[in-house]
Amino acid sequence: MSAAGLIPRNSLAWLLTAQVVVLLPHLPRLPWWVALLWVGCALWRVQIQRMRWHSPGILLKSAALVAILLGVFLTQGTLLGLDATVMFLLLLFMLKLLEMHNPRDALVVVYLGFFILATAFLFDQGIPLTLYQCGSLLVLVAALVGLQQSAGRNDPARALRIGGVMLLQAIPLLLVLFIFFPRLEPLWSVNMPGGSSKTGLSDTMSPADIANLARSPELAFRASFDGEIPPLSTLYWRALTLSRFDGRSWSQDRLLNNLPALPLDTSGESVEYRVVAGASGQHWVYSLRGATTDNPALRRMHDFNLQSIAPLNSTFGYRARSYVNVQMQAEPLSKLERARQLELPQQGDPRAREWAQALREQHPDDGDLVQAVLGYFNQQPFFYTLKPTPLGEHSNDEFLFDTRRGFCEHYAGAMTFVLRAAGIPSRIVAGYQGGEVNEQGGYVLVHQFDAHVWVEVWLAGRGWVSVDPTFQVAPERIEQGLEEAVRGEGSFLEDSYLSGSRYRGVTWLNDARLAWDNVNYQWQLRVLNFKGEEQMGLFRRWLGTADWQRVGMVVLGLAGGIMLLQAMWWLRPQRMNGSAQQRVWKRLDQRLARLRLQALPGEGPRAWQQRLQVALPAQRSVIDSFFDEFVRQSYAATDSASKADQQQLQQALRALFKVIPRKRPASASYLLQDGPLSSRDKSL
């Protein structure tokens, strides 16, 4: 390959550095061969630079494209979706190294780096990644600067410094756009990866689902209240209701979910709160009993739960008001709904069905029968455990009369089955119970191990009434949390050795964990959740209106003012007046004025040089180098110095700045002017 096909060596170094910092956040989610591929592309690019290898031809590039498509498909199982698309883009970004032939191609690689940098936020919007990406952004901007440097004038420190200055200049305009730019809904749908133990609740409940969540320390959501935080034992966070039973699993009833929302009495006592939930990829959100909201992104469902219109693909915050003592659907159930809430499989669990009929004969009143079932759980030797005995075909029979060991899913599922068999409409409510109070931030943290299910029973004249059979067996689970309920068996987060929640008994460690969580909560609340509703509220408080025409005028005024101030700063007379040599002379004069070794009135460069040689003998060689270059450029035949000459003079000045002492040497005292100090000296 000829030299014309090469890019400058320093440009290649910047490209490789930029690619490394941009790709690093993605590597933990990718297979090992992706990192190996980048190493191979980088080595090949270096060999091309050394003119030992050739660039790949059209056939090889076509084969590489087919290979990475196949690799993405085998790894992700599809060529569509978030993970597959980002992975494909990353692989093309790597292969672009082999396609570069000139500096323009190098610029394209850097521009792609900005886009790759943004894709990392599709998977994580936390503070650590944000800080890391700020550093990555600095490297990319510095790479753009470095690509403009010639091979002989390559200065990485200067490129980083210029890049940092450029980013600092952009911060004021960035803040204006962040606050005032309209929040638009994403133009694509993101399919969030992960299973139930990571993303949270599922719309079906099978044996061991809740137990798996109970072993996960992942955070589900945070909630803050207007006023005092209610007792944790009263916080039953509803997410969804499960009404369909196939003999093994409970699931949502799509037919009932599509019924219109029922009216809710809002005249009673209420509690207001704000919830900030993480991305789950699901529609359900979390609320207390009898919830209402003004958020247009949410709707109230027929089962009195709140639901998001769009899947939660990013951090989502909302305000809600709950009427905790309200009667829900006190009017008689429709024939359709009553039939659906009594439906059971034709076969299975014969002993539970017989017991339900016996209870019905003993307790004609529905309320008395419900209390009888709760009393059975309370009086018989049931045990709450995250390590239950596996159940067979007739799971409810075996649990109620044989093993009697289980967690909330077993108790709620068995009770709902028995009540339906006795002719009482009932359903399971899935969500979370309790939480952990963060005293530093004044809010409640709800983790996946707080996942819980309970029972809702429809009673004539009272509507849907919540009952919790788990409370009859393990009241400490409701009043003190899961950790206390399973303390005896030691199963709390037993597989999560690095989880801070596991070591809540260590005071200093727990305080540090809560302090960091408070920082993350404020980040989510003030930054990630600064969307439509929050933005409109800010406009009303600051501007007295949310009219976009007025907001637009404010944005144009602020942006124009910022750019005008920056232009005035960069075009100020002190910066623009004089030649490059005169500006360098002034900078050195100001620096040496601190030592009272500034240039004297009418003093020429050689005279000043001789004075400095005597005052600073240890720095004589650096002083001579600077003044020799200064004199050469100042008295050259051309009217203005070239860019390369200006850079060389700047380098000589920086070298001199590095060796100038902080304090004036005693040997320099006799070199000062006699008599009164000049006006400039008085200002020192």
Q: Of the ranges 274-278, 401-405, 531-535, 650-654, which one carries the lowest mean pLDDT score?
A: 531-535
| Distance, CA of 581 to CA of 633 (rounded, Å) | 8
Q: Taking the chain, what is the end-to-end CA distance rounded to the nearest angstrom?
A: 61
Query: Is 96 within 8 Å of 90 (Cβ atoms)?
Result: no
Q: Given the structure tokens 């009263």, which residue do they identify?
A: 234
Give the H/E segment covering residue 292: strand 291-292
The CA distance from 145 to 647, in Å, is 14
pLDDT for position 675:
35
* Range scoring the smallest mean pLDDT among 82-86, 95-99, 478-482, 648-652: 478-482
**Pairing assessment for the beta strands 298-300 and 244-245 based on DSSP bridges:** unpaired
User: Is residue 655 exposed (0-12), middle (13-18) or buried (19+ Cβ within 10 Å)?
Assistant: middle
Report the distance separating Cα 684 and Cα 674, nearest Å: 17
Cα distance between residue 14 and residue 349, in whole Å: 69
- The C-alpha atoms of residue 407 and residue 405 are separated, in whole angstroms, by 7
Residue type, 238: R
- Model confidence pLDDT, tens digit, residues 201-216: 777 877 666 656 667 7
What's the pLDDT at 77?
Answer: 83
Q: Which of 12-16, 125-129, 146-150, 175-179 has the lowest mean pLDDT?
A: 146-150
pLDDT at 238 over 50: yes
Q: What pLDDT is attached to residue 68? A: 87
Q: pLDDT at position 680, please?
A: 36
Left if phi > 0, otherwise alpha if psi is -120 to 50, otherwise beta: which for 247? left
Average pLDDT, the chain: 82
**Higher per-residue pLDDT: 561 or 4:** 561
80-94, 110-124, 125-139, 169-183: which range is least confident on average?
Answer: 169-183
Catalytic center residues: 408, 452, 468
Binned at pLDDT 50, 70 and 90, residue 191 comes out as very low
Contact assessment for residue 280 and residue 262, using Cβ atoms and an 8 Å cutoff: no
Q: How far is CA 401 from CA 374, 377, 395, 396, in A?
A: 15, 11, 10, 8
For residue 482, give the amino acid letter.
L
Residue-wise pLDDT for 250-290, tens only, equals: 999 989 988 999 888 888 889 999 999 888 888 889 999 99
- Tally of residues, the chain: 684
Asked if residue 210 lies in contact with residue 429, where contact means CB atoms within 8 angstroms, the answer is no
Contact 410, 210 (CB under 8 A): no
Note whether 129 and 34 are within 8 A (CB). Answer: no
The 10 Å Cβ neighbour count of residue 390 is 9
Q: Which residue has the higher pLDDT, 365 or 385?
A: 365
Domain assignments of the chain as residue spans, ordered by start:
3-148, 196-511, 578-682
Is the confidence at residue 188, as pLDDT, over 50? no
Tell me the C-alpha distance between 34 and 29, whole Å: 10
User: Stretch 81-102: mean pLDDT, rounded?
Assistant: 84
Query: For residue 456, is pLDDT > 60?
Result: yes
Question: According to the model, what pLDDT value does residue 637 have?
Answer: 54
Concatenating the DSSP letter of every residue in 519-560 gives HHHHHIIIIIT-SHHHHHHHHHHHHS---HHHHHHHHHHHHH
Contact 217, 494 (CB under 8 A): no
Which is it for the CA torsion 258, 262, 268, 272, positive or negative? positive
More confident residue, 96 or 364: 364
Q: What are 288-344's pLDDT values in tens digits?
A: 999 999 888 899 999 999 999 988 877 888 999 999 888 898 889 999 999 999 999
Confidence of residue 197 (pLDDT cuts 50, 70, 90): very low
> Six-digit token pair at 173?
């305009």
How many Å apart are CA 39 and CA 646, to the nearest integer? 38
pTM exceeds 0.75 for this model: no
Q: What is the mean pLDDT of residues 229-236?
A: 93
Given this model, what pLDDT does residue 604 score?
86
Lowest mean pLDDT among 485-489, 581-585, 651-655: 485-489
